[in-house]
């Protein structure tokens, strides 16, 4: 595990300070194509550090609010979906595109593979410094909305969800799975699957950078943020003995600063979805929306 750098807090405080220099500069534009009789969807543009304009789809249920809020943190890839029908019915939902992803890809378009190691030799040049800032900005937007019930706001995603929850303690709950930055150098020694393989590619090419890479990754490893995560957390865990298995995640679970639950995946996608959806609904005061259906003869 990456040791917590001595200047860890100062590093992230500086990101917050830099972010605070820029107003959100919100542009909201009704997305007529995605609006339904039960939800209004808007295209949202915000300013993050750089300065850089990022994008989100923001969906609000029709009716009298306030509504529970849900921030869907960006995945590792160029595309994030519009909020799902089931979430649009229940929550004020923001799906965010960080810089480089489609709809936030001008002037910077991310490469896949490639994004993970962009600027990785130093914590000050890593693209993830800015990507985390983008997520924090998305959180600030959602938490500032008058139609959102500030006592019921959750975030869902990978490491970016955990880091955002650590830096913005107003979140009620955080659901995290498929962690990428957690023990990443160790994971790279055990996996040749992308995107983890990007680290192996990089270190094969630049072996002399190993110490620098390790130092950079320590700023993004969620274990070093964990004590600041006070929201109720759900960690989604894989098979015993595997990367993201329960033993692998145990140090993180122990370090989290709030109540922690773990869900061990069955690998039946609908079963796993429905359990996690119900968990999130409980945190937000929503109604579970299972996707399994009854089969009749």
Partner 1 sequence: MSQARKPAERYGTTTVRPADFDAFWAAIMAEVGEIPLNPTMEHVPMRSTDEVDVYEIHYDSLDHVRIAGWYCVPKESYLPPPYPALLIVPGYISEPALPKSWAKMGYAAVGVAPRGKLRSNRQFNPGYPGLLMHNVVDRYTYSYRGFYVDAARAVDFVLTRPEVDTSRIGVHGSSQGGALTITTSALRSDVIKVGAAGAPYLCGFMDAAHLTHSWPYEEINDYLRLYPERAEAVRATYHYFDGINFAPMIKCPMLVYVGLADDVCPPETGYALYNAMTCPKEIHAYPCCAHDSGIYWEMPKVEAWLAAQLKPAAYMRHAEPTVG
Q: Provide the binding-site residues for partner 1, judged by CB under 8 A.
A: 32-34, 36, 77-79, 81-82, 84-86, 102-103, 109, 111-113, 192-194, 197, 201-202, 204-205, 266-271, 273, 290-297
Task: Please say whether the beta carbons of 98 and 54 come within 8 A.
Answer: yes
**Residue with Cβ nearer partner 1 (124 or 271):** 271
Which C-beta is closer to partner 1: that of 76 or that of 220? 76
Strand partners, 173: 154, 232
Tell me which residue has tokens 């692998």: 248
Rank residues 4 and 34 by Cβ distance to partner 1 and give the closer one.
Answer: 34
**Count of other CB atoms within 10 angstroms of residue 100:** 24
Pair 48, 21: CB distance under 8 Å: no
Least Cβ distance, residue 124 to partner 1 (angstroms): 23
Q: Hunting for tokens 């959806």 — which residue is that?
A: 277
Rounded to whole angstroms, the Cα distance separating 78 from 180 reads: 16
In the bound complex, what is the minimum distance in angstroms from residue 192's beta carbon to partner 1?
7
Among candidate residues 166, 176, 174, 142, the one with its CA nearest the CA of residue 57:
142
Closer residue to partner 1 (CB): 1 or 103: 103
Q: Which is nearer to partner 1, 205 or 241 (CB)?
A: 205
Between CA 264 and CA 242 the distance in angstroms is: 12
Report the nearest approach of partner 1 to the CB of residue 180 (Å): 14
Least distance in angstroms from the C-beta of 59 to partner 1: 12
Nearer Cβ to partner 1, position 200 or 230? 200
Complex with partner 1: residue 65 or 290, whichever CB lies closer: 290
C-beta of 118: minimal distance to partner 1 in Å? 13
In angstroms, what CA-CA distances link 266 with 52, 235, 294? Answer: 40, 14, 20
Q: How far is the CB of 77 from partner 1 (least distance, A)?
A: 6
Least distance in angstroms from the C-beta of 286 to partner 1: 16
Crossing angle for the helix pair 8-20 and 127-144, to the nearest 10 degrees: 60
Q: What gap in Å lies between CA 6 and CA 271, rounded to an integer?
A: 43
Cis before 262 (ω within 30) = no
Q: Which is nearer to partner 1, 52 or 55 (CB)?
A: 55
How many Cβ atoms sit within 10 Å of the Cβ of residue 111?
A: 11
State in angstroms the smallest separation of the CB of 6 from partner 1: 32
**E strand or H helix at 148:** strand 148-157
What are the start-end ranges of the H helices in 21-61?
Answer: none
Q: Coil, strand or helix: which one is 30?
A: strand
């Amino acid at each position: 595990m990456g040791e917590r750098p001595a200047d860890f807090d100062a590093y992230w405080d500086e990101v917050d300070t830099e972010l605070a220099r820029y107003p959100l500069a919100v542009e909201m534009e009704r997305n007529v194509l995605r609006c339904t009789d039960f939800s209004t969807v808007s295209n949202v543009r915000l300013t993050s550090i750089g300065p850089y304009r990022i994008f989100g789809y923001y969906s609000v249920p029709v009716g009298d609010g306030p509504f529970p809020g849900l921030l869907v943190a960006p995945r590792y890839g160029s595309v994030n979906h519009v909020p799902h029908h089931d979430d649009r019915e229940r929550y004020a939902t923001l799906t965010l595109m960080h810089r480089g992803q489609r709809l936030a890809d001008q002037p910077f378009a991310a490469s896949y593979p490639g994004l993970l190691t962009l600027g990785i030799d130093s914590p000050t040049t890593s693209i993830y410094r800015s990507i985390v800032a983008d997520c924090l900005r998305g959180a600030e937007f959602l938490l500032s909305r008058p139609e959102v019930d500030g006592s019921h706001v959750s975030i869902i995603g990978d490491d970016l969800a955990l880091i955002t929850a650590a830096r913005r303690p107003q979140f009620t709950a955080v659901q995290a799975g498929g962690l990428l930055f957690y023990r990443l150098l160790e994971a790279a020694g055990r996996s040749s699957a992308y995107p983890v393989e990007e680290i192996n590619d990089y270190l094969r090419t630049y072996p002399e950078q190993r110490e620098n890479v390790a130092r950079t990754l320590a700023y993004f490893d969620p274990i070093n943020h964990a004590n600041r995560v006070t929201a109720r957390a759900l960690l989604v865990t894989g098979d015993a003995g595997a990367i993201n298995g329960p033993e692998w995640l145990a140090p993180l679970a122990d370090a989290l600063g709030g109540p922690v639950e773990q869900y061990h995946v069955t690998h039946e996608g609908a079963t796993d979805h429905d359990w996690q959806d119900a968990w999130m609904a409980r945190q937000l005061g929503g109604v579970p929306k299972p996707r399994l259906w009854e089969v009749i003869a």
